[in-house]
């Protein structure tokens, strides 16, 4: 249909295709405004149920106006078919964004995106609308970091006075993100969307859906959704925080009463504005998430003072009691002095041992005795030099496996790469291998050790600056000399590189 005109829009490109229709980019022939035009598949146009569902999406979107929900401009029934004219949003569906751009989304970014998504659904829920088909492919991420919700094709209106396309007992939606009540075909409400959002959040922060869609049967997935809690997120991606795990657990609780009851509660928990445990059933938290409930202390019974006064019968009794108290004080003071002396002695022994073993004042007389003395600056410098030699030799081998162990788990700066997590190794590996294959098929680093500078910062990181002549052999088999290069290389306390930059 590309090149055809639908109402005032000319179809200029195809955006994607799904089970119900195809989405095109259209341009208004007079205003030049772009729109996303969703066309129902021609072979479905005469299906009454599908036509009703398509019209239901238009009716649903017509009543929704929110910055995080793709808006509807118009609905058309023509001789060419049925069409939704919608707001055009430049971006990627969340599943493509995870697979092609971000990988597992960092928690702070995931919170930023999910809060926008929750704002949109909170608005829709307040209009009495349940989406019923929440999944990453129905959430768009723009280049500006905004999230947009789309595809209300099987939404249910929670107003019994209005006709609903999907009735209780029917299963609609994508299996992997369904709530347990959707799978069972029972009545659902907005908390079903909250469950699907919890599964979506799991995929955002781990990079993977919690269910094995390639190997598991649909029946097996149904059974897991109904009976088995989601796997621990940190088994998919080890850096998931305990707070994030707890939020996912609550959002995806099997019993809707144990979930966040509204999107606003869900958002507040993500932003740390409330304790997720206080939002739902404490018994569920204790049994299923590992939360620890602090028992409320029993109220202490208090005995009111009687006002009675103790009278000593005679002076002899008074003197005897007073003498006994004095004796007890002397015994107590003697014990305090005894333990104070013991503690003082132990402190002196400990301090002496510390000085002898660690030599904190770097006294020459103790250098041979101090077993744990800090390494001398010249020894640290020599270790860094040896590490640099080995590192440059490893680069010249053109085998990234020889190089990766020199790096820390995360790279603060690596020329054009910033704040990169090297587990798993990202584009640094592919960039290096492409460079060796197509450009520098052989290379040498001729280090000028007279230019070597070394220092250690307040965090005990090692900073080395070195000048070297870099030579490489290109495909024409000609050695090309490059101007002298000076690099600043930072090593952490374990002598692993976490920053390389030109100085």
Same-domain pairing of 82 and 97:
no
Q: Which domain holds residue 478?
A: 377-502
Q: 58, 87, 116: which is the final residue of a domain? A: 87
Q: Is the pLDDT of residue 248 over 80?
A: yes
How do residues 376-396 score in pLDDT, each as one tens digit? 555 788 889 999 999 999 988
Cα–Cα dist 449/451, whole Å: 5
% the chain with pLDDT above 70? 77
Q: State mean pLDDT over 233-249.
A: 94
Residue 419 · residue 498 · CB < 8 Å:
no
Q: State mean pLDDT over 399-416.
A: 85
**What is the dihedral sign for C-alpha 138, 141, 142, 146?**
positive
Crossing angle, helix 107-126 and helix 263-270, to 10 degrees?
Answer: 160
> What's the whole-model pTM score?
0.52
Cα–Cα dist 117/125, whole Å: 12
| Mean pLDDT computed over every residue of the chain | 79
How do residues 146-191 score in pLDDT, each as one tens digit? 999 987 754 454 443 333 333 333 333 478 999 999 999 898 999 9
Same-domain pairing of 130 and 209:
yes
Cα–Cα dist 225/394, whole Å: 49
Same-domain pairing of 227 and 285:
yes
Determine which of 79-93, 188-202, 269-283, 420-434 has the lowest per-residue pLDDT on average. 269-283
The candidate with the shortest Cα–Cα distance to 130, out of 82, 177, 60, is 60
Where is mean pLDDT largest: 214-218, 373-377, 498-502?
Answer: 498-502
Residue 160 · residue 226 · CB < 8 Å:
no
| Banded pLDDT at 291 (limits 50, 70, 90) | very low
Q: 249, 264, 289: which is the final residue of a domain? A: 289
Scanning 241-376, the segments in alpha helix (DSSP H) are 242-251, 263-270, 282-284, 315-358
- Which letter, b or e, does each residue of 212-235 get, where b requires 16 or more Cβ atoms within 10 Å of its Cβ? eeeeeeeeebbebbeeeebeebee
Determine which of 66-75, 134-143, 270-279, 430-439 has the lowest per-residue pLDDT on average. 270-279
Q: Which residues are catalytic?
A: 133
Residue 470 · residue 445 · CB < 8 Å:
yes
**Reduced to 3 states, what is the DSSP secondary structure of residue 178?**
coil
The candidate with the shortest Cα–Cα distance to 155, out of 225, 82, 53, 256, is 53
Same-domain pairing of 109 and 78:
no
Same-domain pairing of 97 and 58:
no
Q: How many helices (H) and strands (E) does the chain have?
A: 13, 18
CATH of the domain at 418: 3.10.450.50
Q: 240, 270, 289: which is the final residue of a domain? A: 289
Same-domain pairing of 111 and 230:
yes
Q: State mean pLDDT over 284-305.
A: 35
CATH of the domain at 149: 1.10.510.10
In a domain, 387, yes or no: yes
Same-domain pairing of 423 and 282:
no
Residues 6+ apart with CB under 8 A from 385: 449, 452, 464
Residue 466 · residue 489 · CB < 8 Å:
yes
In a domain, 31, yes or no: yes
**How confident is the model at residue 357, as a pLDDT?**
75
**How confident is the model at residue 376, as a pLDDT?**
57
- How many domains, the chain? 3
Cα–Cα dist 371/444, whole Å: 40
In order, the DSSP letters of 151-165 are --TT-EE--TTS--S
């Amino acid at each position: 249909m590309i090149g055809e005109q639908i109402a005032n829009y000319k179809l200029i490109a195809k955006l994607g295709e799904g089970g119900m229709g195809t989405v095109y980019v259209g341009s208004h022939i007079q205003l030049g405004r772009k729109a996303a035009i969703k066309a129902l598949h021609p072979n479905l146009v005469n299906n009454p149920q599908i036509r009703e569902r398509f019209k239901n999406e238009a009716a649903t979107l017509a009543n929704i106006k929110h910055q995080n929900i793709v808006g509807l401009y118009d609905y058309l029934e023509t001789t060419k078919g049925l069409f939704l004219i919608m707001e055009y949003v430049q971006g990627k569906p969340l599943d493509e964004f995870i697979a092609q751009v971000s990988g597992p989304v960092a928690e702070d970014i995931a919170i930023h995106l999910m809060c926008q998504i929750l704002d949109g659904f909170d608005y829709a829920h307040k209009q009495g609308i349940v989406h019923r088909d929440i999944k990453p492919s129905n959430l768009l991420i723009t280049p500006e970091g905004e999230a947009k919700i789309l595809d209300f094709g099987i939404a249910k209106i929670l107003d019994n006075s209005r006709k609903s396309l999907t009735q209780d007992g029917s299963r609609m939606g994508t299996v992997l993100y369904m709530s347990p009540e959707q799978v069972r075909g029972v009545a659902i409400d907005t908390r079903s969307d909250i469950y699907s959002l919890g599964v979506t959040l799991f995929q955002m922060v781990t990079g993977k859906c919690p269910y094995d869609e390639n190997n598991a049967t649909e029946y097996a997935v149904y059974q897991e959704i109904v009976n088995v809690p989601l796997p621990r997120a940190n088994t998919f991606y080890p850096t998931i925080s305990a707070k994030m795990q707890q939020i996912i657990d609550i959002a995806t609780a099997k019993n809707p009463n144990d979930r966040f009851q509204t999107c606003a509660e869900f958002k507040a928990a993500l932003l740390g504005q409330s304790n997720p445990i206080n939002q739902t059933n404490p018994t569920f938290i204790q049994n299923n998430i590992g939360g620890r409930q602090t028992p409320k202390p029993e109220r202490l019974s208090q005995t009111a003072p009687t006002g009675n006064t103790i009278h000593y019968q005679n002076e002899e009794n008074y003197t005897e009691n007073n003498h006994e108290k004095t004796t007890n004080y002397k015994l107590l003071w003697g014990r305090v002095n005894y333990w104070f002396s013991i503690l003082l002695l132990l402190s002196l022994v400990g301090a002496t041992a510390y000085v002898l073993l660690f030599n904190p004042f770097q006294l020459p007389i103790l250098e041979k005795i101090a077993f744990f003395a800090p390494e001398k600056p010249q020894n640290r410098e020599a270790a860094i030099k040896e590490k640099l030699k080995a590192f440059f030799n490893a680069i010249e081998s053109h085998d990234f496996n020889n190089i990766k162990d020199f790096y820390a788990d995360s790279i603060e700066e690596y020329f054009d790469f910033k704040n990169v997590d090297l587990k798993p190794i990202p584009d640094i590996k592919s960039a290096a291998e492409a460079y060796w294959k197509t450009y520098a098929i052989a290379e040498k680093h001729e280090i000028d050790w007279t230019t070597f500078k070394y220092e250690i910062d307040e965090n005990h990181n090692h900073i080395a600056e070195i000048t070297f002549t870099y030579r490489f052999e290109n495909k024409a088999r000609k050695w090309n000399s490059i101007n002298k290069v000076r690099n600043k290389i930072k090593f952490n306390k374990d002598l692993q590189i976490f920053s390389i930059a030109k100085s």
